Structure 1
Amino acid sequence: MAGAKKTTRPKGRSGNPAKAAAPQRNTRRATASDWIGGARLRTLTLGVVPVVLGTGVAYVDSRVPGDFGSFLSADGRVAIALLALAVALFLQIGVNYSNDYSDGVRGTDEFRVGPARLTGSGLARPRTVLTVALTFFGLAAVAGLVIVLLTQLWWLLFVGAAAIVAAWFYTGGKKPYGYNALGEVFVFVFFGLVAVLGTQFVLIRQVTLSGWAAAVAAGLFACAVLMVNNIRDIDEDTAAGKRTLAVVVGRPVARVLFALFLMLPYVVLVWFVLLYFRSGYTYFSLLLALPALAIGVSSRKPRELITALQLSSFSALAFGVVLAATLAVQP
């Protein structure tokens, strides 16, 4: 229409309301604190727990039970256990930086309302974040290779390669499975079954029923931490097109799944209590898990859900450490 006033958007602003409301990119560069934050330290317990549990069940199921110190000192088991821990932690940190990079370059983090990410916020160049992620994957590979050389279990090379590939394609590649509701499957398999049973096997060359029980418990805790994190981000992930399991099933069902993931390890714990009475002390970790449960199933506030994530992570650590300790002091 003649004379109609033409409207224009401010330069650089998106027509997408959610994207337009996203935080603006930072002009400063990342500090050491930002890089430490990018490692997401609150999630690193998920790397510690399976190795601790794998070592504990390896001891009680070893063919020559006895003093725990003597068990670890035999056949270089201390070195192997520490290397297994290094693999788990380096892989976890690598996954965290890889996610930062992949979500950032995809634009997913433009919708975030929580703590800023290195790539998405512009604190660090994408290539730099990618380099750091690959460095930690490389460190995990080196530690794993040393385990292979010490144990002569060459097939572990394939397991390690599969773990690194799975870590990358969680949010990387053209069709990341973390964007298609399969993230919980990954963490259950690799931070539960593979990590616990792998640790047990390299220490005593066998996998036992107690090992499987511990692996399931560790995997469920990992799923709980991921689920409560994704519950916090449901609205932002939906806007970004990231189809996590929480997005697919919706908030009410996601809360139920979180509760199941967090509480089922305590059902699994019954197996150990029946075999080793002192392992019942592990139930004291409920002092952390129950508040996490209450917050996770009731709150929609991001800050409170971050607290639920932290409590879930620490309850997993308490569960793993106390259970392993009680197994180590069995007569």
Structure 2
Amino acid sequence: MQALVVPTATTHTLRALQWQERPMPAVGRDDVLIKTQAVGLNPVDYKLVTEPHPQWHYPHVLGLDVAGIVEAVGANVTDFHPGQRVCGHDNLANDGCFAEYVSFPAAALAPIPSTVSFETAAASLCAGLTAYQAIHRKANLAAVQTVLIHAGAGGVGSMAIQLAQAAGKTVYTTVSAHKQAFVARLHPAAQIDYRQEDVTTRLTELTHGQGVDLIVNSIGHPEADLPRLAYNGQLVCILAAPEHFPTEQPVTISRIDLGGAHRSKNPAQVADLGRMTRSLLQLVADQKVDPLISQVLTRDDLVTGLSQLQADQVVGKLVVNFD
């Protein structure tokens, strides 16, 4: 089969990636063999080229988000069958899904609803599941009324805005001026141009001095968010968490490592990836969440798409059609 690979341990640039003929992946007793139909492109894909995972063997197949058709199932798999449409977010320590076929742990897979295309399913995974985990796993929404989502034009940010709104919350977001037209279609309560406005001052105005109940931070520098939180506020960090826990205010701080569920060796956490994917895809099918695909590329343009992501030239989601 053809696959896009990092050929050697010294390969650290996108231009050095290669399409190679690779052996068909082995299918374990708890795995599903998928014929790839579409893959989602994510910033983590190009970041892993420059900073590879230490467990990789070379040539290493890239790619984390796949949607396709079940080709075969392992001996222990009862939830899926050949011909079924499925999708999932893979383990970055293993060979990935930028290939014609991929072997995938069945527990982390979800069926694709009939009204959802392969492209939409693939586009919903990494960013969508990160946002879903932030809103529906890490945060306690019971006392949350207001939410700040950083980087509302990004993959995680745009999905988190929609998920928080679907949960009935008032959502504010930070976004640069030239991306505000894109975010406006999501109808947040306010867009804060972080390059021109003081975010803390603006949030103080919007919340009448109370601060926001929940902040989802996908940009780093989490210490800056601590004074923006309301009493008993919650901060969910996609990247680093604050180095020092504040003792002067009662807040909750959480950190996300979505793919770490695979590497945890905890079957319950791997299975929760599958449950979250099912729930997220149902929201997509119900038209409550949209991954906002900006372009569907061909296989020949996959590396070009990664280069566009690396150069911060993409608003919305890039998907590659393998069919």
> Under TM normalisation by the shorter chain, which class is it?
under 0.3
Q: Which has the higher contact order (CA 8 A, sep 6+)?
A: 1
Q: Which structure has the bigger radius of gyration?
A: 1
TM-score by length of 2: 0.24
**Larger proportion of helix:** 1
